Amino acid sequence: MRSAINERISRRTFEKSPLSTNEQEKIIQMVEKSNARSGLSSEFLEDGSAAFDSIKKSYGMFKNARSLLLMKGEKNDVHLLEKVGYYGEELVLDLTDMKLGTCWVAGTFDKTQFTAPDSEEIVCVILVGKVSNVTPKEKLIRYAISKNRKPISKRLIATAEVPDWVVKGIESVRLAPSARNTQKTTFHYDGNTLTVNIPNDYPMDLVDLGISKKHFEIEANGKFELGNGATFQMSKI
């Protein structure tokens, strides 16, 4: 999963050939296992292409978009958005390890194509599919959206000398996807406690918070509590 952090970028052009039966079965199992841990009810859809057919809704950003993970869960779960980010990004990195391309999509698709029980909320989707080399169009979109990675100084406020494990964790967060590439999570370190915050003034902010926590934890020895402003707990050796 660590190497996937360096390899992953959002992919928007997929191969025409669909995922193999083996790949589909593996993904279904991964999603089931993830749901069992998170309490989410996310689903793999082999063909969700209808949500990307309308240029008006998808802005023509994607080519051959077909299979996807419908990221959803109970509306009354107070940590729904953060869990979608945390467990969704874990799936993204596993899919990257399978050499598949992925893209989180919250805005540029037609949400009305999907339905869920009344008690559930569809938060966003994660496109998944076969990919080959990055196309010139993808490079252009990526350059336009994500040419800037904020430096560590814009992601960390520290009032004490910063240990290596904090730097490594934030370097991993710097490579994470974020909605509109806003990279809004910031970490605070006072020599004793590390916390992570996001303004929560945009609907996908708490999803980004979950993604950031996942990336940090992959590099660091411990776990964040749930919630905005949560504290990092070191694992006991």
Ligand X SMILES: Cc1cc2nc3c(=O)[nH]c(=O)nc-3n(C[C@H](O)[C@H](O)[C@H](O)COP(=O)(O)O)c2cc1C
- Where do contacts with ligand X occur on this chain (CB under 6 A)? 9-10, 61, 103-108, 124, 142, 145-146, 177-179, 181, 204, 207-208, 211
Residue nearest to ligand X (CB): 177
| Closer to ligand X by Cβ: residue 37 or 180 | 180
One DSSP character per residue, 79-90 reads THHHHHHHHHHH
Minimum distance of ligand X from residue 131's CB (angstroms): 12
Minimum distance of ligand X from residue 52's CB (angstroms): 10
> Exposed/middle/buried for 16, CB within 10 Å: 0-12, 13-18, 19+?
exposed
Exposed e or buried b per residue across 137-171, where buried means at least 16 C-beta atoms within 10 angstroms of its C-beta = ebeebbeeeeeeeeeeeebbebeeebeebbeebbe
| Closer to ligand X by Cβ: residue 150 or 165 | 150
Minimum distance of ligand X from residue 149's CB (angstroms): 8
**Planar angle of CA 152, 156, 161, nearest 5 degrees:** 100
| Closer to ligand X by Cβ: residue 179 or 198 | 179
**Side chain identity at 78, as an amino acid letter?**
V
Minimum distance of ligand X from residue 207's CB (angstroms): 4
